[in-house]
Amino acid sequence: MVFAVALPDEIGGDNFDGFNLTPCDGALAVDSSTAADYAAAIDLCATATEGSRAPGLISATLSLADGTGTPDPASRRIRSAYGSIAPQRGSAFAMLSTGTAAGSGDAGYVSPHNCYSASKQSAAPADWLAANSGQVPNLPACPPIPTTAYDPVMLKLRIRVPNNARSFSFNANYVTADYPEYACTNFTDNFVALLDSGFGAALNPSDKNIATPVSFPGLPFSVNLAKLDNGSFTQCVNGLIGCASSGAQPISTCIGTSQLIGTGMEVADPNACSAGQQVGGGTGWYVLRGNVVRGDIIELRLAIWDSGDHSYDSNVVLDNFRWSYQPAQAGGTLVPP
């Protein structure tokens, strides 16, 4: 007689099938150098081995944007808050930075305008560039963005998908000192979330990046979301943007700066493009979604880097990883304020 083996079909918790895994981010070191701790910080809790059939996190690594080397230690932190930005689930989140992953009240904080840098660099992810004809995707009216990644950090997660999952989601909140001056210039900090699936998933972007607004697919998270002026970039002060180039234009869809308080981005900047603008701006909370094949092994690469030089810094906060049994529209959707 052959007995069927019941396998767990959950990691991270999404409350379908009556199961919701308890968050596992309550006792993580702020400055942990263990990559798997950053998976736990975003509520990806269950673990598995490569040879098992159980779902869960198989491995995690921290590297530069091309998958080589070691990022600067200041570029990653596990925090219970980043200024006024609080966890979306559990008690902590993961934070990646092109400078120091810290708010103005945190130890080690350096102003994002002070251009803190360990001067590390690599190439941008090669497969993502290849899928975009060797270029960083950008708006047609903007100049080409260099493909060298300055001050990069990447968290790569290798995960076996639950047997009843067809998609996943997590939250991301991107803030940058490139706002407002460096919109539509050669100097932008980019954030991507690249999804690799062994069997493939036709519903995902062809260049693998799900950190892109569904309203303008293909464009990575950067200050250039503000140039769309369609509500994709919300935490900011309205006025002119892009004044570091010859193509300054107005933005009118900022809704406030409550999510910048305590980040260092909310400090008044007398050298910004318009009166009353601040050191930086941000997207506000997004939910990013990707599609998966049940039981597949996927890799998710979360990377942020500066382009053009080491100057001005950006941070991304990552949290609330969940599975779903429904397919999803891949990409990013703003979380209602």
Summarize pLDDT for 79-95 with one digit per residue, the tens: 999 999 999 999 999 99
Whether the predicted pLDDT of 14 surpasses 70: no
Q: Write down the pLDDT at residue 219.
A: 97
Is residue 79 assigned to a domain?
yes
Whether the predicted pLDDT of 331 surpasses 90: yes
Is residue 76 assigned to a domain?
yes
Give the pair of three-digit tokens for residue 160: 């076996």
d(CA 118, CA 74) in angstroms, rounded, equals: 9
Q: What digits encode the pLDDT tens for the residues 141-160? A: 899 999 999 999 999 999 99
Q: Write down the pLDDT at residue 214.
A: 96
> What is the domain range of residue 43?
16-224+282-334
* Percentage of the chain modeled with pLDDT above 70: 92
Whether the predicted pLDDT of 12 surpasses 70: no
Is residue 257 assigned to a domain?
no
Total domains in the chain come to 1
Is residue 169 assigned to a domain?
yes
Place of tokens 């004044």: 243
Q: Write down the pLDDT at residue 7.
A: 40
Is residue 233 assigned to a domain?
no
- Residue 20's pLDDT band, with cuts at 50, 70 and 90, is low
Q: Write down the pLDDT at residue 83.
A: 98
- Residue 225's pLDDT band, with cuts at 50, 70 and 90, is very high
Q: What is the pTM of this model?
A: 0.94
Once rounded to an integer, what is the mean pLDDT over residues 296-313?
Answer: 93
Is residue 59 assigned to a domain?
yes
The alpha-helical segments, DSSP class H, found in 89-236 are 126-131, 224-228
Is residue 252 assigned to a domain?
no
Chain length of the chain: 337
Residue environment code for 43-68, b if the CB has 16+ CB neighbours within 10 A, otherwise e: bbbbbbeeeeebbbbbbbebbbbbee
Q: Which of 115, 98, 102, 116 minimizes the C-alpha distance to 262?
A: 102
Which residues is 306 bridged to in the sheet? Answer: 150
The answer to whether the CB of 26 falls within 8 A of the CB of 93 is no
Is residue 83 assigned to a domain?
yes
Q: What digits encode the pLDDT tens for the residues 256-292? A: 999 999 999 999 999 999 999 999 999 999 999 999 9
Say which amino acid occupies 50.
Answer: E
Which domain CATH number covers 294? Answer: 2.60.120.260
Q: Write down the pLDDT at residue 113.
A: 85
Q: What digits encode the pLDDT tens for the residues 173-215? A: 999 999 999 999 989 999 999 999 877 678 999 999 999 999 9
